Amino acid sequence: MTSHRSLFTHLLSIAFALFVATTSARARADEAAARQHFKRGVELYDRKQYQPALEEFRAAYAEKPSPGIKQNVALCLKGLGRPVEAATAFDEALDEGEGTLRPDVRAAMEQELTELSKVVATVRIKAIAAADKRPVEKARLTVDGTPLSPAAARRPIRLEPGIHVFTAHADGLADPPEKKLSLLAGSPVDATFELGALPGTLVIVPSVPDAIVQVDALDPRDTKPVKGAWTFELPPGPHHVIVSGPGYQTTMMDVVVSSAAKAEYPVSVLRPGELPPVYTAPARKPPPPQKTRYLVPMLSYEGQSMRLAPVLGERAGGTKRAFTGASGGVRLGYRASRSFALEIYGDVGQLTESYAITAAADQSTTKVIHWQVTPGVRFATVGPVRFTTAMGIGVHGLHVDADVYTKPGLTSVRTSHQGSGIGASWLVDMGMQFDVGSLFVEAVAFFDMHGVGSTRDDDTNERMLYSSPGTRAGVRIGLGISF
């Protein structure tokens, strides 16, 4: 028994060795034939005999497929003036050589594709599931009725420029509507099919009980008619409806069914010579009245350069000081049109500067409280984000409160000064407005030119500020409320 088993094992080993030797010999023979065809193809290509060279390269590829041989097939097709087939062959060569082609070879093929793409149409087709938007791997695609290879989902599809019809199908999923695309040379197009969209419900309700309804059947023999209301589930997309009946005119209409939605269409069926019913438009709510008034509370950050007079302890001719501060205000407006408004603006703020007068050890501080009331006009562009600018002339008031430290002798002397004045002002701003629901946000830059010469010391009646008029400038943010 043992000797029989050893003999069987020995015979099996011999058979396996013969199989390996035969397979290796066949592989060597295939490679030798491929080399011979390839060499002959190169010779013919060099002599510009593209058709026989193409046949030799295809024979070599059949013996031993490789992206290099497919590249030569593409070059022959290009030489024969068949750019669509040549571009497709280059795409296949790049796909087959993914990760193995040398960078210079890949760059050469991509350059050839760039040139061919100028004269051929290119489209990329993607098939995804309607439920989760994931790619459908086993989708079957067609173009102009011709099935495409499974690799078409990962490679560009090269076609002659013109109008082409594409379809997609996958087992177990609803077919999407076909796509009719107009393709131009040099203008790549992406198209996506959503498979498996949920069907919609279409209900046709004729005005007479014995009417016959047909859907997607121009020939009445193609569909069994249903009397009365017609209800059925249909794939999303356009559908053709025919409503007829004995003694009545035939009515045809096109309807669109949406995924997972119900569409109901009442149809009036008329006898010959009858006029259609008078159309009565549904009642519509009038648009809400436009709000013409608005209120804008505002906050500002501002600065101003002022020349302080000798009454405040400065040298003859005054000394220029830089003041900074903030103000709060409110603006009330009336919109005369969408881009023009009348306004009145008011604000109150304070500017402060601390500084040392020569030889004084302590810091002097001057506060300037200002207020203004300014009527003006505002212009704005139209839209939710708009440019705005305004200008107005009004009344401007200043109150100066200064604690001044000077050193006329050995010790510093503190003096307090107060004074007020009223003058005219010219206010200009420009910036942007942004709608936020029923409100709007405003951000603008502004400058206010106003008189300062009337501001005089309460005790001496001397001018406290020189260089009139002064200019205050800054940025302002406001929140508008329309009513």
Q: What is the DSSP string of 25-43?
A: HHHHHHHHHHHHHHHHHHH
- Same-domain status, 176 and 316: no
374: closest CA among 448, 319, 312? 448
Q: How far, in Å, CA of 81 to CA of 282, rounded? A: 62
Which CATH number belongs to the domain containing residue 78 in this structure? 1.25.40.10
Q: Please say if the pLDDT value at position 476 is more than 50.
A: yes
> Which of 101-105, 224-228, 231-235, 355-359 is predicted most confidently?
101-105
Location of structure tokens 């035939």: 250
Which CATH number belongs to the domain containing residue 256 in this structure? 2.60.40.1120
- Same-domain status, 90 and 141: no
Q: How far, in Å, CA of 481 to CA of 332, rounded? A: 10
199: closest CA among 171, 237, 238, 233? 233
What is the arithmetic mean of pLDDT over 459-465? 95
Q: Would residue 6 count as lying in a domain?
A: no
Question: pLDDT band at 284, cuts 50/70/90?
Answer: confident
Cβ pair 143, 151 in contact under 8 A: no
What is the arithmetic mean of pLDDT over 12-35? 56
- Same-domain status, 252 and 182: no
Q: Please say if the pLDDT value at position 229 is more than 60.
A: yes
pTM for this prediction? 0.45
Q: Would residue 478 count as lying in a domain?
A: yes
- Same-domain status, 306 and 398: yes
Among the candidates 150, 165, 197, a domain finishes at 197
Q: Which domain holds residue 231?
A: 200-267
End-to-end CA distance of the chain: 109
Domains contained in the chain, number: 4
| The predicted structure's pLDDT at residue 19 | 42
Least confident of 125-134, 210-219, 434-443: 210-219
Q: Please say if the pLDDT value at position 12 is more than 60.
A: no
Q: Would residue 17 count as lying in a domain?
A: no
Question: Within a 10 A sphere around the Cβ of 413, how many other Cβ atoms?
Answer: 13
Q: What is the DSSP string of 240-295?
A: EEEEE-TTS--EEEEEEE-TT-EEEEEE----TTPPPPPP-PPP-PPPPPPP-EEE
Q: Would residue 15 count as lying in a domain?
A: no
Q: Please say if the pLDDT value at position 7 is more than 70.
A: no
Omega prior to 188 cis, within 30 of 0:
no
**Helix, coil or strand: residue 101:** coil
Percent pLDDT > 90 in the chain is 51
| The predicted structure's pLDDT at residue 287 | 78
Q: Please say if the pLDDT value at position 33 is more than 50.
A: yes
| The predicted structure's pLDDT at residue 49 | 93
- Same-domain status, 43 and 74: yes
Which CATH number belongs to the domain containing residue 448 in this structure? 2.40.160.20
Residues facing residue 213 across a β-bridge:
226, 243
Q: What is the DSSP string of 121-154?
A: EEEEEEEEETTT--B-TT-EEEETTEEPPGGGGT
- Same-domain status, 224 and 302: no
pLDDT tens readout for residues 393-432:
999 999 999 999 988 777 788 999 999 999 999 999 999 9
Question: pLDDT band at 1, cuts 50/70/90?
Answer: very low
| The predicted structure's pLDDT at residue 275 | 65
- Same-domain status, 433 and 304: yes
Location of structure tokens 């069987």: 8
Q: Would residue 317 count as lying in a domain?
A: yes
Among the candidates 67, 92, 116, a domain finishes at 116
- Same-domain status, 126 and 104: no
| The predicted structure's pLDDT at residue 307 | 95
Question: pLDDT band at 28, cuts 50/70/90?
Answer: low
Q: Would residue 246 count as lying in a domain?
A: yes
> Which of 136-140, 234-238, 270-274 is predicted most confidently?
136-140
**Helix, coil or strand: residue 51:** helix
| The predicted structure's pLDDT at residue 332 | 96
| The predicted structure's pLDDT at residue 22 | 43
- Same-domain status, 311 and 451: yes
Q: How far, in Å, CA of 8 to CA of 169, rounded? A: 53
Q: Would residue 285 count as lying in a domain?
A: no
Q: What is the DSSP string of 296-329?
A: EEEEEEEEEEEEE-GGGTPPTT-EEEEEEEEEEE
Q: Please say if the pLDDT value at position 120 is more than 80.
A: yes
Among the candidates 90, 116, 142, a domain finishes at 116
- Same-domain status, 305 and 435: yes
Q: Taking all residues of the chain, what is their mean pLDDT, rounded to a whole number?
A: 86
- Same-domain status, 60 and 186: no
CA separation, residue 11 to residues 3, 4, 7, 14, 16 (Å): 12, 11, 6, 5, 9
CA separation, residue 63 to residues 20, 36, 60 (Å): 19, 10, 5
Question: pLDDT band at 381, cuts 50/70/90?
Answer: very high
Q: Would residue 279 count as lying in a domain?
A: no
Tokens of 472: 């205050």
Least confident of 143-157, 166-180, 223-237, 451-465: 223-237
- Same-domain status, 190 and 207: no
| The predicted structure's pLDDT at residue 32 | 84
> Which of 116-130, 167-181, 254-268, 456-470 is predicted most confidently?
456-470
| The predicted structure's pLDDT at residue 16 | 46
Task: Go through 423-451 and write b for each residue having 16 or more CB atoms within 10 A of its CB, e for each that does not.
Answer: bebbbbbebebeeeeeebebebebebbbb
Q: Please say if the pLDDT value at position 14 is more than 80.
A: no
